[in-house]
Structure 1
Amino acid sequence: MKNGLEDVIAAETRLSDVDGELGRLIIRGVSLDRLVERATYEDTAALLLDDLLEVPAAAGDLKTRLGRMRTEVFTHVRAMDEALLKLPPVDAMRALIARLPDGEDFETVLRLLAAPAVFLPAVLRMQREEKPVPPDASVSQAADILHMMTGRIPSAEQTAALDGYLVTISDHGLNASTFASRVIASTHAGLTSSVLAALSALKGPLHGGAPGPVLDMLDAIGTENHAKTWLAAALDRGERLMGFGHRIYRVRDPRADALKNALKPLVATGQVDRQRIALAEAIEKAALAILKERKPDRPLDVNVEFYTALLLESLGFPREAFTGVFAIGRTVGWIAHAREQLLEGRLIRPKSVYVGLLPLAA
């Protein structure tokens, strides 16, 4: 038995491959670095969903239909009440998604792709006692998310940065939330149920809830010349350095570089706090040096959380919303895996080993 199913193969997939030794992520035959350079969120969604739906999900058509669906699901924002607004944003978003009908058709897919993109900005605004901004069906998913959150038309650089983030985290092998999606799909419960199960897994701090503490670390360190002292003290206390190390990657997480590159146009055009970025880069350099010194036998490098936190903060998302933004991008991966499991897999029913007490002999 392998606790946590470490190295246990539970599915065959054509969707993504995570190579932890080489630090490589392939999505549907395309390496992440090339995908981020060339593809929008809509392109990536069409790529992941290709041949898994009865209706082909061509990128151009997907953008148009997804825009219309955002307008349709916006009507559910009216169901937001005082009790939901007291919840963390990801929980309020999940409650609204639970209102959507279950199904397996293309309309269900579109609805589930549109819903988190609409619900999260609406929740954030209403929690600030601001009126929700209706979707604009004519723009891309990334541009509309930013507009619905801030009420302002985003710059091209801001839209491209969020687009790059949504592409980067669209799929990542058989992680905890994706496995949850496939388990539910194997019961034929429906795609909404699969997405809700995956979102519930994602919100755990050991999976999708970690980017926020990266900013807490930056705030605590404060200045570049304080980085080495603070990091050393944290390690002396046995604490984990947030944004470093990964369960799978033995080298640098390729998503970290993709997101660092996505930040560069914002830095170049002065749309981000350059001192904040300089502090982060100094902390990254100091952390890698001290981890190499303290833990030479453990490959600990930058992971996706580090630059996720910086990018989302730069775009104006509050840190309590980071898990919800992650869900917006990952939902297409959850759906693709659910469809693949439904079409090609069986009911997932692993075995357990009983280690409890046995009844006494008569």
Structure 2
Amino acid sequence: MDKPSLDLTSAEEASSRLGISRASLYAYVSRGLIRSFSSPHDPRQRLYALDDVETLVKRRIRFRRPTAAAATALDWGLPVLETSLTQIKDGRLLYRGVDAVELARTATLEDTARLLIGGLDAGTFARPFPATGLATFPTIGLQAFLTRAIRLLSEPVPEEAMAAEVPTILHLMAGAGGGGASEAKPIHQCLAEAWGASPQAADGIRRALVLCADHELSASAFAVRVTASTGASLRNAVIAGLAALSGPRHGGETERVRDFLEQGETSAADHAQPYPGFRHPLYPDGDPRGAALIENMPLLPWDAEILRTTEGMTGRRPTIDAALVMMERAYGLPRGAAFALFAIGRTAGWLAHAVEQRSQGSLIRPRARYVVVEEAPSP
């Protein structure tokens, strides 16, 4: 790799940060714990991925201090739950061992739901669904979508819907984006028709839904699992996921990306500031979902320029959030379609997490460490 898109450091600095010898550093490299690259200035010199070094430093501190490990486990920390659903490994996203990027080339969201949840036969989605009664929306918007989705999920459940709860929930979520249908069609087709999308855009919608389906133990997936562990219904577990997704540091990132792109078209972008949607802690070399979604997309000129500028100056590539907004803009989808696609696609993963958590039969109930807060003295 001649020009790695990540921060690098010298062997001396890496060894010093870790408090180890050069020999131990080379052993870490041979075990795949730290990536090394040839220096662009001196081919005889090796440089080391700073993110990998810092990850090992933090891990060593946590293991030396068990209380610190427990306290930080929920903040991009150590694994806290076992799952057979999704794995992020070596820059790849895997659904039950299947590469999500490869899956997205041909699969539908329904195919992905069957893969993640398991136990669903091929005919699960081959049935008509009741119309949601919602019209096509020129704009969707985060809060409007959330309001409609929660309302639909909270309505009384007919007996026939209870028999096919998983596909019904997915179609209700599609209905919140205006893509509800009264006949059995793939969800991406329902959305494409409701949004007046071209065939090329419809295929992009399909790929986006698959790429958004799950992302290991995200904040919303954790909220779903906590809710499901109490014995709550699948619908209420999904509502918990929606509430977590609404935050600006999760699904709401698409709103920040859109605002940035729209503002940049009318004023000069500040290249000294980090752009939203161009860095993910779990993918030092770039989010593979973002790259897969943008591939062969007819980007708007400004969006294409931002991609070139950002990668050229910082080496950073678009996350799935940035890619979803660029797709919304490229195909003229309703404003807010990026968030809707994220939420509808992620519902497949939420349902899989809820089902898996229920099968474990345990309540998620961590303990808190009480800290005395000193009150300020009275004036």
Give TM-score scaled by structure 1 length. Answer: 0.74
Q: 1:179 & 1:3 partners in 2: Cα distance?
A: 13
Identify the residue that residue 230 of structure 1 maps to in structure 2. 269
Give the structure 2 partner of residue 130 of structure 1: none
CA shift at 1:13, angstroms? 1.2
Counterpart amino acid of residue 107 in structure 1: A
TM-superposition CA deviations, 1:269-296 (whole Å, max 9, x none): xxxxx5x1x322221221233335xxxx
- The question of whether the paired residues in 2 share the 8 Å contact of 1:88 and 1:320 is answered with no
Is the partner of 1:290 in helix, strand or coil? Answer: helix
SS of structure 2 residue aligned to 1:64: coil
Deviation, 1:73, is 4.9
Paired position in structure 1 for 2:100: 32
Give the match for residue 217 of structure 1.
Answer: 260
For the residue of structure 2 that corresponds to 1:205, the secondary structure is coil
In 2, the alpha carbon distance for the partners of 1:328 and 1:301 equals 24
The equivalent residue for 2:72 is 2
Report the Cα distance in structure 2 between the residues aligned to 1:91 and 1:198, rounded to whole angstroms. 13
Q: How far apart are residue 105 of structure 1 and its match?
A: 5.9
1:307 to 308, 319, 323: 323
Identity score, percent: 30
Unpaired stretches in structure 1, ≥5 consecutive residues: 79-84, 123-133, 268-273, 293-299
Map 1:285-300 onto structure 2 (within 5 A): 285-291=308-314, 300=316
SS at structure 2 position matched to 1:257: helix
Distance 1:138 1:347 in 2: 36
Once residues 250 and 256 of structure 2 are traced to their aligned partners in structure 1, the CA distance between those partners, rounded to angstroms, is 13
Whole-Å separation in 1 of the counterparts to 2:92 and 2:317: 14
Change (3 A) 1:15 1:279: same
Match of 1:244 in 2: 278
Partners of 2:292 and 2:190 lie apart in 1 by 22
Instruction: Give the aligned partner of residue 57 of structure 1.
Output: 121
Alignment of 1:67-146 (within 5 A): 68-69=128-129, 72-75=130-133, 77=134, 88-101=144-157, 106-121=163-178, 135-146=181-192
Matches within 5 A, 1:143-222: 143-150=189-196, 154-222=197-265
* Cα distance, 1:97–1:23 mapped onto 2, change above 3 Å: same
**Cα distance, 1:94–1:314 mapped onto 2, change above 3 Å:** farther
Note if 1:18 corresponds to 2:34: no
Taking structure 1 as reference, are residues 87 and 29 closer, same or farther at Cα in structure 2, changes over 3 Å only?
closer
Deviations 1:219-276 (A, max 9, x none): 22228xx8xx62325x2xxxx4111111322220010111112xx2x63xxxxxx5x1
Larger radius of gyration: 2
2:104·2:207 contact (CA, 8 Å) conserved in 1? yes
Cα deviation for residue 39 of structure 1 reads 1.3
TM-superposition CA deviations, 1:281-315 (whole Å, max 9, x none): 221221233335xxxxxxx5421111111112334
Task: Name the CA distance, whole Å, in 2 between partners of 1:330 and 1:241.
Answer: 24
Q: Where in structure 2 are there 5+ consecutive unaligned residues? A: 1-70, 136-140, 375-379
The answer as to whether partners of 1:16 and 1:173 remain within 8 angstroms in 2 is yes
Distance 2:207 2:276 in 1: 22
1:129 matched to which residue of 2?
Answer: none
Taking structure 2 as the reference length, the TM-score comes to 0.71
Distance 2:370 2:142 in 1: 41
Cα contact 2:252–2:339 (8 A) shared by 1: yes
Distance 1:315 1:112 in 2: 27
Distance 1:314 1:43 in 2: 26
Query: Does the 8 Å CA contact 1:185/1:338 hold for their aligned counterparts?
Result: yes
Answer with 107-116 or 2-11: which moved more: 2-11
How far off is 1:101 after superposition? Answer: 3.8
**TM-superposed deviation, 1:11:** 1.6
Deviations 1:173-231 (A, max 9, x none): 000000111101100111011000000100111000112332322222228xx8xx623
Structure 2 vs 1, CA of residues 73 and 109 (structure 1 numbering), >3 Å: closer, same or farther? farther
Contact 1:253 1:303 (C-alpha < 8 Å) held by counterparts? yes
Q: Distance in 1 between matches of 2:356 and 2:73?
A: 26
CA contact 1:113–1:328 (8 Å) conserved in 2: yes
C-alpha spacing 1:149/1:136, structure 2 compared with 1 (3 Å): farther
Normalized per residue, which structure has more helix? 1
